[in-house]
Structure 1
Amino acid sequence: MRVPGPEHQEDGGLRAVAAAAGGLHRYPLHLHDTYGPVVRFQLPGAGEAVSIADPLLLEATAHLDERPGKLFAFLDPLCEAGNLQVLPADEHTPWRRLLLSVLAGRPAHERHFARFTGLARELVDRWAGRADGGPVELQQELTALSLRMICEFALGADTGTDADRVVTAFEEVLTEHLGRLYQVPRTDPRSAERADAALACLRATVDRAVAAHRPDGRPDRSDLIGALIDARQSPARIRDTVMVTLLAAHHTTGVAVSWTLHLLGRHPHVAERVAAELDRVLGDRAAPDYGDLRHLSYLDMVLKESMRLFPPGPYGARETTEDLRVGPYEIPAGTTVFYPFWAVHLNPGHWPDPQRFDPERFTPREAARRPRLAYIPFGIGPRSCEGATLATVEAQLILAVLLKRLRFTPAPGHEVTPTERFVLWARDGIWMTAHPRV
């Protein structure tokens, strides 16, 4: 049985993605509304793909351990020892195991938690001390904060890293190379030159951290660099791993917290319940200890519901290495399987009234009723995000520090519009006013 989908277009699907839906983040929503849970479509940069939005059907693909090289080619410039996003399975598995030992490990989280807390408190002090009381743009500020956190974790505490410069450098590189992937007409003749300079800046920053690494257990030692050195990874692979970790981690956390505050600002009764939980668990303390996070169950539910409605990475992809049966459809070997996280999270068959913000969906009882792949903000299977646990710890901490002291209201007249920019970004920012809690 042939997978349904739109007719073939000579432009490779570019016009359909850009015009019909506004971008690749929204296009799968349109496709699945029109054609059902499994759709064939032209994916710019990767040829024809099959998108699956039903969590039960996704189970047939959960074992896939290859990514389509063309779709991730824009990351090639970040990697000198081979694009880490498309490593062959036999090379990827030990590398993933190594990353999980650091990024998902409680000892590393606890070791860096005090410094993470200090960085979050610096931000809340600055926002609380604004004399004019005007709105703040959450995305830029919180992305910079999460980058400072991951720099501390991945590079070491005392590397002299300029987080704002690194944020700018990543944006230069990604804008240039994503533009090439989607064939965006170049309007600035110097964009490629600036992207090359930005990439050189990023590499030099990482090289300085690796050179300064201390194997004596001092506080400025990087757990990630240390693990890579201990595993006898090559200098190029160490640099590539740190670069990709910085890229993925700072976008995920900063964007997730921004969308969560956006939703809380529009649902003050939920924000009040979060504040009450923080007061109960923390008392007069301004920030949680690491052990407090497991007692902030409602805050965790709010974060999960936010990432359901606005998953930081709205899609992923794998490639079949042999013929695969998905429901009534036979998918041939070599096919790109597209994971539309946003469409999965808004599937009305598993999420009643899917556009409604309702943290109660994530009570243990409600979560147990759903298929395990109904909620996949960090992907699925052997290529899911290695930093998911660390990102969650950072997001919970930042939210706890901010919401213990401040409440947020939307800036009057500002419209928040999701768009695709490597992550699910708000096109004109997320502007909110921060008020001291009384």
Structure 2
Amino acid sequence: MNIPGPEPRSDGGAGAVAAAGGLHTYQLQLHAAYGPVVRFQLPGAGTAVSIADPVLLEATAHLDERPARLFAFLEPLCEAGNLQVIPAEEHAPWRQLLLSVLAGRPSHERHFAQFTALATALADRWAERAGRAPVALQKDLAALSLRMICGYALGGDVADPDAVIAAFEEVLTSRLEQPQGVPASDAQEGRAERAARAARAEAALARLRATVDEVIGAHHSGGRTDRSDLIGALVEAGERPARIRDTVMVTMLAAHHTTGVAVSWTLYLLGRHPEVAEKVAEELDRVLGERAVPDYADLRRLRYLEMTLKEAMRLYPPGPYGARETSEPLHLGDYEIPAGTTVFYPFWAVHMNPDYWPEPEKFLPERFTPEEVAKRPRLAHIPFGLGPRSCEGAALAMVEAELTLAVLLKRFRFRPVPGHEVTPVERFVLWAADDIRMDVSVRG
């Protein structure tokens, strides 16, 4: 391929990733050293090609296959085939079905009052703690997102969302953080730890499946087949029960992580930039007046709030990277990439590319005025991915996130807890190592 990149390592690149502090940080370093197209060892996938230039990304936007090995950790959640890597011919109609629900304005409007009630309930709980104890943004907002997705796409709620979140974390941790090797003297302890972890993961997976079955059962007992409800649409489309359960599981996983994480990073940035937070508050007061919550139509008028959310997702993309696989040779600028190559999408490196984002480390919502957006390539901002495998729930996530931010920022000011260090870490999404703890005060 003659693509620049570091020399191969005997450990498959795992040591380089660890030394950089994570794959997303490693990508920033690679592209700073070698340019917009880099060949590197991707642990678990051999050699990959990473692309951080949005113009060059256009040549890959048609790719509709994912490298199976990189998504194998999701297999325990699926019984009818890993939904992240199903073949393109099967994926296309399934995706269209999801988009007909998740991207549809009628379904957003139908559930908007429920979303508002859930966000308001969280705000009420935070109001009781205001001025007395910090809030853990990611924990609380992940739980809120899970409640929202259950109410919206699944036709029901869960009794204990914290337990469901913990179960998801247990399953994912067991798959994402497998021990890479145990010293001989600790071999017995290593085997015991792995066995215990596997047992916990199996128990957690059983709890998740039981919860999903309860949600599906509640939906069927209600007799609904509304196509603005995900399960109803899947049933009406004739999907088999195992595929319905798989879709529910993956939807719960994706939605409860990404939306809550995006809102939490936005509040974190606003807490560090009170001048931006004041602009958001002024817009909310102007659009909503004395009302504590927006209507669905109000979201279109909250332009600066939307710009702020997009800029936060540029700096802290909830999912920091993606991947595709070429099924035939691909011409990419001066390079030809062979068939069967893993193409890596380093969202964070794309979002920090100084050729398209001057002073990329700065938090500047004004980057997303229509005039500024028109100056950039369309793939310069890709928090939800790109092409036919991009996030089907992107439109829903934006509605949930903007509503939640509007409810919270109309009532509160947020400030970082003194001495609390916020460190981004890679898990399934871009998490914070010890959550994001903020002091909350009620706006006067």
TM-score, length basis structure 2? 0.95
Matched, 1:401 2:400: no
Q: 1:172 aligns with which of 170, 173, 176?
A: 170
Aligned equivalents of 2:69 and 2:113: distance in 1?
A: 41
Equivalence for 2:108: 109
For the structure 1 residues 81 and 218, does the alpha-carbon distance in structure 2 shift closer, same or farther, using more than 3 Å as the test? closer
Q: Which residue of 1 aligns with 2:14?
A: 14
Percent of residue pairs identical: 72
Deviations 1:151-172 (A, max 9, x none): 1112223x54421111011000
Cα RMSD after superposing both structures: 1.7
Any conservation in 2 of the 1:251–1:423 contact (CA below 8 Å)? yes
Q: Please, which of 246, 251, 254 is the counterpart of residue 240 of structure 1?
A: 246
Residue in 2 that maps onto 1:144: 143
The partner residue of 2:180 within 179, 183, 187 is 183
TM superposition shift of 1:213: 2.0
* 8 Å contact kept, 1:156–1:222: no
Instruction: Describe the SS at the equivalent of 1:190.
Output: helix
2:388 pairs, out of 376, 379, 382, with: 382
Correspondences of 1:59-70 after superposition (within 5 Å): 59-70=58-69
Describe the shift of the 1:69–1:131 C-alpha distance in structure 2 as closer, same or farther (beyond 3 A): closer
Q: How does 1:218-233 map to 2 (within 5 A)?
A: 223-233=229-239
| Preserved CA contact (<8 Å) 2:131 2:441 | no
CA contact (8 A) 1:104 1:388 kept: yes
Does the C-alpha gap of structure 1 residues 118 and 258 become closer, same or farther in structure 2, counting only changes over 3 Å? same
> In the alignment, residue 30 of structure 1 is paired with which amino acid?
Q
Q: 160, 163, 166: which one pairs with 1:162?
A: 160
**How far is the alpha carbon of 1:136 from its aligned partner?**
1.1
The answer on 1:200 being equivalent to 2:215 is no
Which of 330, 333, 337 aligns to 1:331? It is 337
Output one character per residue of 1:73-122: Cα deviation in whole Å (capped at 9) or x when no partner. 00010000000000100000000000000000011111111111111111
What 5-or-longer segments of structure 1 have no aligned partner? none
Distance 1:402 1:192 in 2: 39
Q: Which amino acid aligns with 2:175?
A: H
Instruction: Name the aligned partner's letter for residue 180 of structure 2.
Output: Q
Distance (whole Å) between structure 2 residues aligned to residue 109 and residue 227 of structure 1? 15
Which whole-Å CA distance do the structure 2 matches of 1:279 and 1:359 have between them? Answer: 18
Q: Which residue in the other structure is 2:186 paired with?
A: none
Q: What is the letter of the counterpart of residue 16 of structure 2?
A: A
Partner of 1:32: 31
Mind listing any 5+ residue stretches in structure 2 that lack a counterpart? 183-189
CA displacement 1:160-219 (0-9 Å, x = unmatched): 442111101100000001123x83766464111010011111111111222222487769
Kept after mapping to 1: 8 A contact 2:353/2:360 = yes
Partner of 2:187: none
Aligned residues: 435
The answer (yes or no) to whether the contact 2:318–2:383 under 8 Å persists in 1 is yes
* 1:135 CA displacement: 1.2
CA distance in structure 2 between the partners assigned to 1:164 and 1:436 by the alignment:
26
What displacement does 1:7 show? 0.7
More moved, 424-433 vs 304-313: 424-433
2:2 is equivalent to residue 2 of structure 1? yes
8 Å CA contact 2:130–2:441 kept in 1: the answer is no
Cross-structure match for 2:41? 42
Partners of 2:382 and 2:339 lie apart in 1 by 24
Deviation at residue 131 of structure 1 after TM alignment: 6.5
Cα deviation digits, residues 218-267 of structure 1 (max 9, x gap): 69998000000000001000000000000001111000000000100011
* Whole-angstrom distance in 2 between the partners of 1:59 and 1:196: 41
Matches within 5 A, 1:233-382: 233-382=239-388
Partner residue in 2 for 1:209:
215
Report the alpha carbon displacement of residue 307 of structure 1 after superposing the two structures with TM: 0.2
Contact 1:172 1:194 in 2 (8 A): yes
Answer whether contact 1:156 1:220 (CA < 8 A) is retained: no
The amino acid across from 1:294 in the alignment is R
C-alpha distance in 1 between matches for 2:398 and 2:321:
18
For residues 221 and 366 of structure 1, the distance between their equivalents in structure 2, rounded to whole angstroms, comes to 37
Bigger shift: residues 58-67 or 133-142:
133-142
